[in-house]
Chains A and B, each alone.
Chain A
Amino acid sequence: MIEIGAALPAHTFTINRELLKAYADASGDQNPIHQNEEFAVSVGLPNVIAHGMLTMALVGKYVTDWAGGSGNVTHYGARFIKPVIVPANTDVDLTVTAVISSVENGLITLDLTATSGGVKVLGMAKAVVKK
């Protein structure tokens, strides 16, 4: 039901080091903080962290699945508030939920929540879709 306040079903993505490598290759972002534990720790991080844009890409996939395709998204934005920490040989979760916050002129705004290990990783995450 498309009405203000309606919640969309949650979806959980799996993030691991293999996915970080694949995203680095597909996006061109080879920053070692996303692949090399020693380097990540040397710059003060707890461990390797996921690319913020990988998190956004996966949350974007959640949005486009609901919207019926990548072509139906007109606006999408988020703030990176906490890193998704990805230890070696470990699958970590990225759990996404959404609430419809506006329905206007055929455009639906989703307020998105993304957590990893129970910690909120994106702030002010919103997408506007045509549906």
Chain B
Amino acid sequence: MLNPDSVGRTFEGANSITVTQSEIDSFCAVIGETDTTVAPPTFSIRISLEQSQSILSDPTVGLDWTRVVHGDQKFEIFSPIKGGDTLSCSSTIESYRVAAGNEIVTVRSDLKSGSEIALSSWSTLVVRA
């Protein structure tokens, strides 16, 4: 079970991530996008899920990632990601509830370039009973 003290807490990622053009190219190739000058809108999930997973695996949080199913996903894009961007990630547990024995957790991840926010995303994760 999630530790209730985790709700509302923000966890800063330890390392910043530099996005390579080849990562964007590979992602674009899968969906048939030929313009690779900026990343497709959902590209950042690659960074934010990995970062928030590592951040929220902190044992004080208590989230069991092995039973997580993705319930919904939302992006707000302030500035599209480009190859060479260096981004830092922070994740906040915005809400938590239990329904029919499943834990439902909403995590917001903010990707920043320096002090400027590039993108916020919200993932609702369902931890199956």
Measured CB to CB, the residues of A under 8 A from B are 19, 22-23, 25-29, 52-54, 56-58, 60-61, 63-64, 69-71, 73-80, 123-124, 127
A–B complex contacts, Cβ < 8 Å, 28 sampled: A26-B26, A26-B27, A27-B27, A29-B49, A52-B73, A53-B45, A56-B42, A57-B30, A60-B40, A60-B41, A64-B33, A64-B41, A69-B38, A70-B38, A70-B39, A71-B80, A73-B77, A74-B77, A74-B78, A75-B75, A75-B76, A76-B77, A77-B72, A77-B73, A78-B72, A79-B71, A79-B124, A80-B70
CB distance from A119 to the nearest CB of B (A): 18
Most chain B CB within 10 A, of A22, A23, A53, A57, is at: A57
Cβ of B46 and Cβ of A28 under 8 Å apart? yes
Bound-state Cα–Cα, A28 to B54, Å? 14
Residues of A within 8 A of B38 (CB): 69-71
Contact present for A70 and B40 (CB under 8 Å)? yes
Q: How far is the CB of A54 from chain B (nearest CB, A)?
A: 8
Q: How many A-B residue pairs have CB under 8 A?
A: 88
Complex contact B33–A61 (CB within 8 A): yes
Q: Within 8 Å CB of A127, what residues of B?
A: 41
> Contact residues of B with A, CB < 8 Å?
23, 26-27, 29-33, 35, 37-42, 45-46, 49-50, 70-78, 80, 122, 124
User: In the assembled complex, which residues on chain B have CB atoms less than 8 Å from the CB atom of A58?
Assistant: 31
User: Min CB distance, A121 to chain B, in Å?
Assistant: 12
Nearest-CB residue, chain B, relative to A28: B46
Which listed residue, A25, A52, A60, A76, touches B26 by the CB 8 Å rule? Answer: A25
Q: How far is the CA of A127 from the CA of B45 in the complex (A)?
A: 16
Complex CA–CA separation, A29 to B68 (angstroms): 13
Give, as a whole number of angstroms, the nearest-CB distance from A79 to chain B: 4
Q: Are B77 and A75 in touch, CB under 8 angstroms?
A: yes
- Chain B residue nearest to A62 (CB atoms) is B31
Asked if residues B41 and A27 are in contact (CB atoms below 8 Å), the reply is: no
Q: How long is the Cα–Cα vector from A60 to B43 in the complex, in angstroms? A: 10
Q: CB distance A60 to B31 under 8 Å?
A: yes
Contact A79 B27 (CB under 8 A): no
Contacts of A52 in B (CB 8 A): 70, 73
